Amino acid sequence: MNGQSPFQKLSGSLDAWKKKSSGIWGIWMEDLNTGEKWIWNEKQPFVAASMIKVPVMVAVYRAHALGKLCLSDRIELRREDRVGGSGVLQHLSYGTKFTIQDLVTLMIIQSDNTATNLLIDRLGKEFVQETLLALEMTDTVFINRLHIVPAGSNKTNQITAKDMARCFRLLATGQAVSRDASRKMVEILKKQQWRNCLPGRLPPSDSEIIGSLPRWEMAHKTGWVNQTLHDGGILYIASHSLILVVLSSGLDHHQAQREINHIGKWVYDAYTQASR
Angstrom distance (rounded) from CA 200 to CA 209: 23
We report the CATH number of the domain holding residue 36 as: 3.40.710.10
**CB neighbour list of residue 150: distance below 8 Å, 6 or more residues apart:** 144
Structural domain of residue 124, as residue ranges?
Answer: 6-204+214-274
pLDDT tens-digit readout, 55-114: 999 999 999 999 999 999 999 999 888 776 767 788 787 889 999 999 999 999 999 999
Angstrom distance (rounded) from CA 11 to CA 267: 9
pLDDT tens-digit readout, 148-196: 655 455 689 999 999 999 999 999 999 999 999 999 999 999 999 999 9
- Domain membership of residue 49 (yes or no) is yes
- Domain membership of residue 1 (yes or no) is no
The residue among 229, 218, 156 whose CA lies nearest residue 193 is 218
- Domain membership of residue 209 (yes or no) is no
Angstrom distance (rounded) from CA 257 to CA 229: 7
Q: Is the pLDDT of residue 256 over 90?
A: yes
Which helix H or strand E contains 75, and what residues bound it? strand 74-76
- Domain membership of residue 179 (yes or no) is yes
Question: How far, in whole angstroms, is CA 153 from its chain's centroid?
Answer: 26
Our count of domains for the chain comes to: 1
**In whole numbers, what is the pLDDT of the chain averaged over residues?**
94
- 207 sits in the region (left: phi over 0; alpha: psi -120 to 50; else beta) called beta
